[in-house]
Chains A and B, each alone.
Chain A
Amino acid sequence: MIADPIRDGLAAGWRVIDAATLESDRVLEADVAIAGSGAGGGVTAEILALAGLKVVIVEEGPLKSSGDFRMREREAYPSLYQESAGRQTRDKAITILQGRCVGGSTTVNWTSSFRTPPRTLAHWKSVHGLASADPSSLAPWFERMEARLSIAPWPVPPNENNDILRRGCEALGYSHAAIRRNVKGCWNLGYCGMGCPTNAKQSMLVTTIPSALEAGATLVQRGRLERLVHGNGRVSEAVVRGVAGPGAPMGHARLTVRARHFVLAAGSIGTPAILLRSAVPDPSGLTGRRTFLHPTVVSAAVMPGPVEGYSGAPQTIYSDHFLDTLPVDGPMGYKLEAPPIHPILAGITLPGYGADHGRWMREFPKLQVLIALLRDGFHPDSPGGTVRLRSDGSPELDYPLGAYLWDGVRRAYLTMAELQFAAGAKTVMALHEDAGPATTWAAAREAIGRLPMAALHARVVSAHVMGGCPMGSDAARALVREDGRHHHVENLSVHDGSVFPTSIGANPQLSIYATAARMAEGLAAALGARPATPARAAP
Chain B
Amino acid sequence: MSGPRDAAFIHATRRRFLAVGAASGALLAVAGWWSLRPGGAAPGYRALGKDGVLVSRALIPAILEGALPAADPERETAIRHTLEALDRAIAGLSPAVQAEIAQLFALLGLAPGRWLLAGVRPRWADASTEEAAAFLRRWKDGRIDLMRAGYQALTQLVIAAWYGSPLSWAAIGYPGAPRLSRP
With beta carbons under 8 angstroms apart, the residue of A78, A362, A457 that contacts B89 is A78
B177 touches A70 (CB 8 A): yes
The listed residue with most B CB atoms (<10 A of its CB), out of A77, A86, A364, is: A86
**How far in angstroms is the closest Cβ of chain A from B98?**
6
Q: Flag whether B116 is at the interface (Cβ < 8 A).
A: no
Contacts of B67 in A (CB 8 A): 357-358, 361
Q: Mark B21-54, 1 if CB is under 8 A from A, else 0.
A: 0000000000000000000000000010000000
Q: Flag whether A326 is at the interface (Cβ < 8 A).
A: no
Which of B79-121 touch A at CB < 8 Å?
85, 88-98
With beta carbons under 8 angstroms apart, the residue of A78, A245, A247, A365 that contacts B174 is A365
A78 touches B63 (CB 8 A): no
Which of B152-183 touch A at CB < 8 Å?
152-153, 155-156, 159-160, 162-165, 168-169, 171-174, 177-178, 180, 183
Q: Flag whether B136 is at the interface (Cβ < 8 A).
A: yes
B93 touches A83 (CB 8 A): yes
A249 touches B95 (CB 8 A): yes
A74 to B92, CA, bound (A): 11
B95 touches A392 (CB 8 A): yes
Contacts of B76 in A (CB 8 A): none
**How far in angstroms is the closest Cβ of chain A from B153?**
7
Q: Flag whether A381 is at the interface (Cβ < 8 A).
A: no
A86 touches B159 (CB 8 A): no
Also in contact, A84 and B2, with CB within 8 A (given A310-B174, A343-B169, A353-B62): no
B96 touches A344 (CB 8 A): no
Contacts of B174 in A (CB 8 A): 310, 342-343, 364-365
Q: Flag whether B149 is at the interface (Cβ < 8 A).
A: yes
Q: Flag whether B64 is at the interface (Cβ < 8 A).
A: yes
Nearest residue (CB) in B for A92 is: B149
Which of A252-301 touch B at CB < 8 Å?
none
B96 touches A456 (CB 8 A): no
A150 to B155, CA, bound (A): 41
With beta carbons under 8 angstroms apart, the residue of A197, A247, A455 that contacts B95 is A247
**How far in angstroms is the closest Cβ of chain A from B125?**
20
B2 touches A434 (CB 8 A): yes
A247 touches B180 (CB 8 A): no
Nearest residue (CB) in B for A95 is: B156
B1 touches A390 (CB 8 A): no
A457 to B1, CA, bound (A): 12
Q: Flag whether A246 is at the interface (Cβ < 8 A).
A: yes
Q: Flag whether B140 is at the interface (Cβ < 8 A).
A: yes
**How far in angstroms is the closest Cβ of chain B from A408?**
21
Nearest residue (CB) in B for A74 is: B164
A506 to B97, CA, bound (A): 30
With beta carbons under 8 angstroms apart, the residue of B63, B177, B180 that contacts A353 is B63
The total of interchain contacts (Cβ-Cβ below 8 angstroms) comes to 138
Q: Flag whether A174 is at the interface (Cβ < 8 A).
A: no
Q: Flag whether B58 is at the interface (Cβ < 8 A).
A: no
Q: Flag whether B148 is at the interface (Cβ < 8 A).
A: yes
B1 touches A436 (CB 8 A): yes
Contacts of A198 in B (CB 8 A): 180
Contacts of B173 in A (CB 8 A): 362, 364-365
Q: Flag whether A15 is at the interface (Cβ < 8 A).
A: no
Q: Flag whether B145 is at the interface (Cβ < 8 A).
A: yes
Contacts of A457 in B (CB 8 A): 148
B164 touches A73 (CB 8 A): yes
A347 touches B66 (CB 8 A): no
Q: Flag whether B78 is at the interface (Cβ < 8 A).
A: no
Contacts of A173 in B (CB 8 A): none
B164 touches A344 (CB 8 A): yes
A198 to B67, CA, bound (A): 33
Q: Flag whether A72 is at the interface (Cβ < 8 A).
A: yes
A91 to B149, CA, bound (A): 8
Q: Mark A213-235, 1 if CB is under 8 A from B, else 0.
A: 00000000000000000000000
B140 touches A433 (CB 8 A): yes
A359 to B180, CA, bound (A): 31
A246 touches B94 (CB 8 A): yes
B163 touches A78 (CB 8 A): no
Contacts of B178 in A (CB 8 A): 71, 189, 311
Q: Flag whether A2 is at the interface (Cβ < 8 A).
A: yes
Q: Flag whether A447 is at the interface (Cβ < 8 A).
A: yes
With beta carbons under 8 angstroms apart, the residue of B63, B92, B159 that contacts A84 is B92
Interfacial residues, chain B to chain A (CB-CB below 8 A) = 1-2, 47, 62-67, 85, 88-98, 133, 136, 140-141, 145, 148-149, 152-153, 155-156, 159-160, 162-165, 168-169, 171-174, 177-178, 180, 183
Given contacts A71-B177, A191-B177, A198-B180, 17 further A-B contacts (CB under 8 A): A74-B85, A78-B89, A91-B145, A92-B152, A246-B92, A247-B47, A247-B92, A344-B160, A347-B159, A352-B155, A353-B133, A357-B63, A364-B173, A365-B174, A390-B96, A456-B145, A457-B148
Interfacial residues, chain A to chain B (CB-CB below 8 A) = 2, 70-74, 77-78, 83-84, 86, 88, 91-93, 187-189, 191, 197-198, 245-247, 249, 310-311, 342-344, 346-348, 352-355, 357-359, 361-362, 364-365, 390, 392, 394, 396, 433-436, 447, 452, 455-457
**9 closest cross-chain pairs (CB), A and B:** A74-B164, A71-B177, A456-B148, A343-B163, A358-B66, A78-B92, A92-B149, A347-B163, A354-B65
12 residue pairs A–B, Cβ–Cβ below 8 Å: A2-B180, A73-B164, A189-B178, A247-B90, A311-B178, A355-B65, A358-B64, A359-B66, A362-B172, A392-B95, A394-B95, A434-B1
